[in-house]
Amino acid sequence: MKKYLLFILLFFLFFFCKKDKTIVYEKRFEVISQIFSDSLHNKSFYFKNCLILKKNFIMPKVFYIEDQNKEFIKTDSQLKYLSFILNEKDSLFIEKQIYSNVKKDIDELKEYGFRVLKENTKLESNDCKIKISLPIFNKAIDRFYIIIGEGSSFGEYVFVKEQNNKWLLKERISLTIE
């Protein structure tokens, strides 16, 4: 009897942990599509008609986070940086997303009506082109971090989910011009 109950408990733990992981991974493209297609709430991020170029973003080697005294602290850990920005204590949850995002291809955005091309594809100079990272969510899936590049600039952004299930920009963390 104890073995039977233990089996049921392990089955439910495995099922629910896997379900949480799947929800986050499935939401990545849905959320990008929602933000880039919403000309009403996210006008600055309306990229539905743009070409999305495949590019792997290399995260900076040094990250600055703001402490409670509004002073900047330097950290060399991407994991600490993202945990701080997303206000997430479960760093393993974030770490799994980082590794998964490296392996994942953004071609899935084609299913949402976006045009995705290799970065070295010859394009017209007047075409709207962007580069994006895949989002990293907090565990509650009500906040995420993303890098968006347009032209020669790249920005780091945090979006939050409002009560009406719309994703809105909370803050631009940085803007880099190459």
Higher pLDDT, 127 or 15: 127
Higher pLDDT, 166 or 60: 166
Predicted pLDDT of residue 12: 46
Boundaries of domain holding 55: 2-177
Dihedral sign for Cα 174, 135, 131, 29, please: negative
Predicted pLDDT of residue 143: 92
Its pTM stands at 0.76
Predicted pLDDT of residue 19: 42
Give the range among 17-21, 59-63, 92-96, 170-174 with minimum mean pLDDT. Answer: 17-21
Dihedral sign for Cα 71, 76, 82, 88, please: negative
Among the listed residues 24, 55, 37, 43, the one whose alpha carbon sits nearest the alpha carbon of residue 114: 37
pLDDT band at 18 (very low <50, low <70, confident <90, very high): very low
Total count of domains within the chain = 1
Q: Please state, in angstroms and rounded to a whole number, the distance separating the CA atoms of residues 177 and 153.
A: 4
Q: Please state, in angstroms and rounded to a whole number, the distance separating the CA atoms of residues 149 and 175.
A: 9
